[in-house]
Amino acid sequence: MVEVNLWSGMRRFVGDDLTVEVEAETIGEMLDALVAAHPALKPVIDQGVSVAVDGEIHQGRHVPIPQGAEVFLMHRLKGG
């Protein structure tokens, strides 16, 4: 299980929780599991999100999530 920390604006889509647990081994599986468990998240995730695993932001869906990792789902961060 992966515990995903959500930014506060996502609380309304998941029953007012700041964290959600899903079964996943990669970022892509995590995003898919979040949408399956909470369909209202789909438009937000489809618009683009950033995922931080143990403090490092990752872009790829195939990035593994280590057991016990700290995972944060945030507004998409853009560089300039």
Per-residue pLDDT of the chain (80 residues; tens, 9 = 90+): 999 999 888 889 998 889 999 999 999 999 999 999 999 999 999 998 999 999 999 989 999 999 999 999 987 766 65
Residues 64 and 71: their CA atoms lie apart, in Å, by 11
Per the prediction, the chain carries an average pLDDT of 91
Residue whose entry in the numeric block shows the structure tokens 């995590």: 30
Task: Give this prediction's pTM.
Answer: 0.90
* H-run or E-run covering 16: none
All domains of the chain, ordered by start, with CATH? Answer: 2-75 (3.10.20.30)
Let me know: does 37 contact 22? Beta carbons within 8 Å.
yes
